Amino acid sequence: MIEPLAIAAIAAGLAGKDRRDLLLAGYPKPWVAALPEKARPDDQVRSDLIQLQGGPGLGPWLTQAAALAPGTPAFEDALRALGLPIPPPAPKPGAPIQVHQDVVEGGATGVELGGSPRAAVAIEQGVVRGKGTTGVIIR
């Protein structure tokens, strides 16, 4: 299962460092920090997939990959095989952002990216190290 996913990720342009950060966003930061670092992006994708398959699982990675490269059969087939839904495409840069009031996480403001309610995030007020910040919860 790993090699077809690696080939699809490389072909879809998901092998760079910025894309790796997005693909691994659904995993605990300490676990991601402990992943082996590879010099070549294609080797990094393969290494990450092997580690994920033997560790916390491929589900979050596949969901992100399918959102970033919509319509890629390898990602969608793997999600179906795991019984996971196929996500909506990730919003494109410059896509409209719609803000609306919703009761989300105790009264937070809901934000829709790209006009897709399935690609919604909730923004809530929080405090980090004494400074007021905005936290983003992605579901």
Position 43 scores a pLDDT of 97
Position 96 scores a pLDDT of 64
Three-state secondary structure readout of the chain: CHHHHHHHHHHCCCCCHHHHHHHCCCCCHHHHHCCCCCCCHHHHHHHHHHHHHHCCCCHHHHHHHHHHCCCCHHHHHHHHHCCCCCCCCCCCCCCCEEEEEEEECCCEEEEEECCCHHHEEEEEEEEECCEEEEEEEEC
Same domain, yes or no: 120 and 56: no
Same domain, yes or no: 60 and 125: no
Position 30 scores a pLDDT of 94
Same domain, yes or no: 17 and 69: yes
CA angle at residue 92 from 40 to 16, to 5 degrees? 5
Q: Tokens 């992605």 map to which residue?
A: 138
Position 25 scores a pLDDT of 92
At which of 55, 81, 107 does a domain end? 81
Position 89 scores a pLDDT of 83
- Could you list the residue range(s) of the whole structural domain that residue 106 is in? 97-138
Position 90 scores a pLDDT of 76
Same domain, yes or no: 105 and 65: no
Ordered mean pLDDT values, 10 residues apiece, the chain (139 residues): 95 93 93 95 97 94 94 96 90 63 45 44 36 40
Q: What is the pTM of this model?
A: 0.67
Asked if the structure places residue 105 within a domain, the reply is yes
